[in-house]
Amino acid sequence: MEKKMKNKTSVATQEGDRCPDNSAFKQQRLPAWKPQLTIASVLSSFFLTGAFCLAVGVCLVLSANSVREIQIDYSDKCSDCSKLRENSSNWNKECHCSINFTLKEDILGDVFMYYGLQNFYQNHRRYMMSRSDAQLLGRNVNRSYCAPFSTYRNGTPMAPCGAIANSMFNDTIDLFYNGNSSVIQVPLLKTGNSWWTDKNVKFRNPKSHNLSSAFAGTAHPPYWQKPVYLLDEEDERNNGYVNDDFIVWMRVSAFATFRNLYRRLRRTRHFADGLPAGNYTFRISYNFPVTRFKGRKHVILSTVVWSGGSNPFLGIAYVVSGAAATLTGFVITGIHLKLRKKKTYFQKQ
């Protein structure tokens, strides 16, 4: 008996040691607030949520519809250049085409130029992995992730390496305004088109007294026409891995149809207020082939508003959510009135 009592005492002592402290937090005695759901509070929350989402959605849709945008598909209009580019042996031959269009009304404010690609799948896993983020930070590291675009057969490393860099969009697009007596080239800005974090954190050039020596011993990717340190011959600061066009391209898209920012209007002289109405011409140096994968190419001129570009998806999502919340509120109201009538009927019985 004594042994059994001792065993019970030891077990109770061990269980007591495992018990939480007698505190409000560990014993779950903290003060708490539990909402009392009544029909008035439930219905008011649904109707207020619906009204808020509907108001925000309508504002977003109207804002997106106010964006001025012009989109021109130049895949077929530059068909001769497209056929030339399908033969890889013609890589060193230049090909230009011109596209005329008319602005019936002024486009006021900041104007942005985009290039658009259709049926180009940047979201393929092997394509997305074919890059070296360490190399883009200016480090000399292993480029195994870049295969098969890492080194040439003679052992010369590619800079930059990888399939994403190798397939960089390289059409050159210039815009001209056809005035009454002269043709004026529209001033466009090449820099300032990338995110600050990309330009200053994710992309850096190798440290050296000049870029050409920093990339000594490397070669440009096979589909490039010039080395990475000569991407912008007019602005030395916009070369190497910090080139804006290169940075924008390296941010891959999740969808097969996408657009990337290419240029911004420099608002000076004739274009201080935006693009005036009149006749314009796109002069395109055609280099990027799209026929083999049945793709299309576009050039887009667009403005922006406080909510962004011309994509109405967010506004439509808010409108649908608001309509669903409001409809749910009416359904709950109908159910409540029906049940209340039944309750009143049985009470009278």
What would the mean pLDDT of 318-347 be, rounded to a whole number? 86
* Rounded-to-integer distance, Cα 206 and Cα 139, Å: 7
100: pLDDT strictly greater than 80: yes
Q: Decide if pLDDT at 199 tops 70.
A: yes
CA–CA dist 170, 167 (Å, integer): 9
Over residues 91-118, the mean pLDDT reads 92
Contact 24, 30 (CB under 8 A): yes
Query: What's residue 23's pLDDT?
Result: 85
Distance CA 152, CA 146 (A): 12
Q: At residue 344, does pLDDT exceed 80? A: no
Task: Return the H-helix or E-strand segment holding 219.
Answer: none
Residue 45's alpha-carbon distances to 29, 36, 326, 333, 339, in angstroms, are: 30, 13, 10, 12, 21
Instruction: Please provide the DSSP assignment of 221-252 as one string.
Output: -TT-SS-GGGS-SS-GGG-GGG-HHHHHHHS-
Is the predicted pLDDT of residue 4 greater than 70, yes or no?
no
187 by Cβ neighbours in 10 Å (0-12 / 13-18 / 19+) ranks as middle
Query: Higher confidence at residue 223 or residue 5?
Result: 223
What is residue 7's predicted lDDT score, i.e. its pLDDT?
Answer: 56
Query: Looking at residue 14, what is its pLDDT?
Result: 54
Mean pLDDT of all residues in 37-44: 89
Sign of the alpha-carbon dihedral angle for 319, 323, 326, 329: negative
Which of residues 160 and 86 earns the better pLDDT score? 160
More confident residue, 5 or 58: 58
Q: DSSP character for 21?
A: P
Tokens in use for 98? 């011109």
CB 336 within 8 A of CB 39: yes
Residue in the block written with tokens 């005035």: 179
Instruction: Categorize the per-residue pLDDT at 20 as very low, low, confident or very high, splitting at 50, 70 and 90.
Output: confident
Lowest mean pLDDT among 52-61, 209-218, 281-290, 310-319: 209-218
**Contact, 261 vs 112, CB < 8 A?**
yes
pLDDT at 220 over 80: yes
**Is the pLDDT reported for residue 190 higher than 90?**
yes
pLDDT score, position 98? 94
pLDDT band at 299 (very low <50, low <70, confident <90, very high): very high
Provide the pLDDT for residue 142.
64
| DSSP E strands, 12-146 | 69-73, 96-103, 107-108, 112-118
The three-state secondary structure class of 171 is: coil
Q: Under a CB-based contact definition with an 8 Å cutoff, are residues 120 and 294 in contact?
A: no
What is the rounded average pLDDT of the residues 135-141?
Answer: 85
Q: Is the pLDDT of residue 13 over 70?
A: no
pLDDT higher at 88 or 218:
218
On the question of pLDDT at 5 being above 60, the answer is no
Top pLDDT among 348 and 249 is at 249
Q: Are the C-beta atoms of residues 315 and 64 closer than 8 Å to each other?
A: yes
What per-residue confidence (pLDDT) applies to 292? 86
Percent of the chain residues past pLDDT 90, beyond the cut: 59
pLDDT of residue 252: 94
